Amino acid sequence: MNTKISLSALLLGTLISSSAMANTGTINFIGSVSDTTCNFIGEQGGTQTNTIDLGTHTIASVNAGTTNVVDFALVGKKSDGSPCTVQSGKSVDISWVPASGVWDAAGLQNTGTSKNTAVKLMDKNSNPFSALRETVNYTSNNVPNGALPFKAQLVKTGAAATAGTVISSVKFAVAYK
């Protein structure tokens, strides 16, 4: 009888420990240390928003690479509403990480219904962000009134684009240095 109970306990312990080991995952942490703390929101054409409108384009213009480049900014405000500026001699790092999809060769992967399209996210000098380049550094000369300038464009990913929606999202982190 003791043998049966011991064998059952051993078998039960093995099952419990193996099922606990099967549930694994990854947690990512992001943060910064800064002497300036600000709240950021996107701004396009003077309107503050967290949605940047890339417009509606024909399949032909996407495939020809002639979609317009859209200027936008991340605008930092202090708790009193004044702009977050970069002090002379200091700088700010801005990092971008896809929140939906991943980086692909053309930019931020589209999770909408249009096939073979992406969002090309760029810094103020039109240098694209990618899996190999997620961070840019701006100095005080590049940040007018707390606005960190960026650009975005709807692009094809190589094969011919198809009609549909383009949806992509990205997380950002801003660190004043």
Query: What are the pLDDT digits (tens) for 1-40?
Result: 444 444 444 444 544 444 455 676 666 666 656 666 778 8
Mean pLDDT over residues 84-90, rounded? 85
Neighbours of 105 (CB within 10 A): 10
Task: Detail the DSSP E strand segments found in the chain.
Answer: 39-44, 47-48, 70-77, 91-98, 103-104, 107-109, 117-123, 135-139, 147-156, 170-176
Considering only the top CATH level, what class is 40-176?
A: mainly beta
* Lowest-pLDDT range of 86-90, 92-96, 136-140, 169-173: 86-90
Confidence of residue 49 (pLDDT cuts 50, 70, 90): confident
Single pTM value for the model: 0.79
pLDDT of 75 over the 80 cut: yes
Distance between CA atoms of residues 128 and 102, nearest Å: 14
Segments making up each domain of the chain, as ranges = 40-176
